[in-house]
Amino acid sequence: MGRGPPCPGALPLPRLPILIDMDFLQELGIGPENQGAYNGEWLNCGGELVETKNPATGEVIAKVRQATAAEYEACVGAAHEAFQRWREVPAPKRGEIVRRMGNAMREKKHALGSLISLEMGKILQEGLGEVQEAIDIADFAVGQSRMLYGLSMHSERPGHAMREQWHPLGVVGCITAFNFPMAVWAWNSMLAFICGDAMLWKPSGYVPLCAIGLTNVIRPILEEEGFGALASLVIGPRKGVSENILSDRRIPLVSFTGSTAVGKKVGAEVGGRLGRTILELGGNNAVVVMDDADLDMAIPAILFGAVGTAGQRCTSTRRVLVHEAVAEELEGRLRRAYEQVRIGDPLDETTLCGPLIHEGAVEDMKTALADVRSSGGTFVQEGGPIELDGRLAGGNFVKPVIVWAENDWDVVQRETFAPILYLIRVKDLDDAIAKHNAVPQGLSSSIFTMNMRNAERFLASTGSDCGIANVNIGTSGAEIGGAFGGEKETGGGRESGSDAWKAYMRRQTNTVNYSTDLPLAQGIHFG
């Protein structure tokens, strides 16, 4: 239900919520009140009863009883015990159980995707895509379970054999952000499970129902095998839960997704006990548009990268470094593309831009826009918080922004989790690469060009300094087959595909002497 055609130069008004079937909550085992700790069974938690709200309306969806330090201890203890048994299960058998979990997610894909849209606010197509990503990494992990390869090496000593093998690591602590409330857990857990590890999941407090719903989908498979605690879940506050994960020596690896500021604290705390971390932190991702770019491809890629998930992806497009020869044409095309974006209820299939996650995110966008104005930005598309009445009065809706800016402005140098797109002119490829790399973050990057030399230069060691670099596709929407992660203040470590599985295991070098002598390495003679 729209409100008429858009005015020239203005985005369509937000669409009213459609009436939807909410049976998917019951289908996923979510009731009016829910427990926030699972370790093979749902525990009776002693923490505060907190509300989770629909960011499109401000209405309460359900309540969750938070875990305390006591429930945390029950969960990590059970996870550790499950790990000690799980590591003895052959890896291909572990893969078979992961396959069944992937199929369970397939069966509940629409319900899980709808829950993501309801609680997080991304549009339904993106919610379904996120669940598909979880399914895909499960499929990937099944194959990987038969390919946990080590190496054989030649010894310098006669009658000796050397090899390298990989062993399970232990309980993996997984602290996830609100913007991908299911996929990031799956990236970590599906690989950790086939590697022989257990998982302890602490989700964002803004999306606890997504964690509860997904746990309810996969736990019957694990419970049937006597390993329910492998997928332990703890929903609770920083004190008693998050802080405990960081300091707990029973958790050798902590995977954290969130802001750079918090990520630095996580790295320091876990590193202080010589634990390992995977840090997926901020992004300030740019698309380079050269003078020979195919703009018919570049415009939709930029639009999805900047407006998808309302600019709340770590891979969202924040900057467009456009060659001055095509700057005016790109501006006009982007403006016309933005005029077609429908803002509104994310469960309405015609919506392209849902709400921000909470009021604080709206305030952050307002602050950033004030900084842009004070810096002298030239707005192509004005935007910001949208005042509404009716059933969307409580929603955190904003209008996406396009603005000409300079790369060295403070507001451009920092990441704002909102749909603000900075257009920045460049003279040539050298200028584009220099400006591209002149930010603290280093996650995702892209170039649009038809010139092979430009493309290869961008991908070379002297080109993009990001963990992800693309040619003729946008910054957002990575496939699970490649390792995901970044450099600089984006953190460190990789998740998902390629050889990311190695992060969840410990390497062991073996030397076997099958001779009758005991020679020392390096030709040393002793005694």
Give the Cα separation of 93 and 98 in Å (integer).
Answer: 9
**Assign residue 311 a region: left if phi > 0, alpha if psi is -120 to 50, beta otherwise?**
left
Nearest by Cα to 53 from 264, 338, 356: 356
Beta strands in 178-280 (DSSP E): 198-202, 231-234, 253-257, 276-280
- Rounded to whole angstroms, the Cα distance separating 431 from 451 reads 16
At 124, list the tokens.
Answer: 């339904």
**314, 331, 415, 466: the active-site residue:** 314
Q: What are phi and psi of 255, to 5 degrees?
A: -100, 120
| 174 catalytically annotated | no
**Residue 226 and residue 41 in contact, taking contact as beta carbons nearer than 8 Å:** no
Answer yes or no: are the C-beta atoms of 185 and 133 closer than 8 Å.
Answer: no
Place of tokens 């460049």: 426
What is the spatial distance between Cα 187 and Cα 138, in angstroms, rounded to a whole number? 8
CA distance 203 to 193: 18
List, in sequence order, every residue forming a beta bridge with 161; answer none if it has no partner.
Answer: 154, 512
With the CA atoms of 353, 359, 364 and 368 taken in that order, what torsion angle do they form, in degrees rounded to the nearest 10?
60
Alpha-carbon separation of residue 371 from 167, 313, 316, 387, 415 (angstroms): 51, 22, 20, 21, 13
Residue 96 designated active-site: no
Measured CA to CA in angstroms, residue 24 lies from 30, 50, 118 at distances of: 9, 21, 11
Considering the candidates 280, 331, 415, 489, report the single residue annotated as catalytic.
Answer: 280
Among 158, 166, 240, 160, smallest CA distance to 196 is for 166
- Catalytic center residues: 280, 314
